[in-house]
Amino acid sequence: MKSFLILAATAAALTAEPVKIQLPAPPPAIAPGPGSELLLGHCMICHSAEYFTTQPPLGAEKWRAIVDKMRVTFGSPLPEDQVDAVVAYLAKNYGPEEKSAPAQPAAK
């Protein structure tokens, strides 16, 4: 009887439909380009890429307000002389006139 159950279970496993597994989408990555290294080094110590990629398209003035708030209120280590470069990067890549294609996640 035991060998019959093993044989029946094996036959059922061989004739069963293949299991399909849907993996979640990989997390977004920030857009490459001038200023991305500043974002990686100063902003992404607290924020994930989703923070930037899911924001509504903001112009330079609004991005500057956010960067200033992060520096003044929350103590971001971004030096003042690099604020313009970060704001320019954010406005170009995550602004209302976004020109770059969505970034692909880095290969592991």
Chain segment 39-78, per-residue pLDDT in tens: 999 999 999 999 999 999 999 999 999 999 999 999 999 9
Task: Provide the pLDDT for residue 102.
Answer: 47
Angle in degrees, CA 95, 100, 106, rounded to 5: 115
The pair of three-digit structure tokens given for residue 55, joined into one six-digit string: 């924001």
Task: Provide the pLDDT for residue 4.
Answer: 67
Mean pLDDT (the chain) is 84
Three-class secondary structure assignment of 16-74 = CCCCCCCCCCCCCCCCCCCCHHHHHHHHCCCCCHHHHHCCCCCCHHHHHHHHHHHHHCC
Q: Quote the pTM value.
A: 0.67
Query: Which carries the bigger pLDDT value, residue 43 or residue 16?
Result: 43
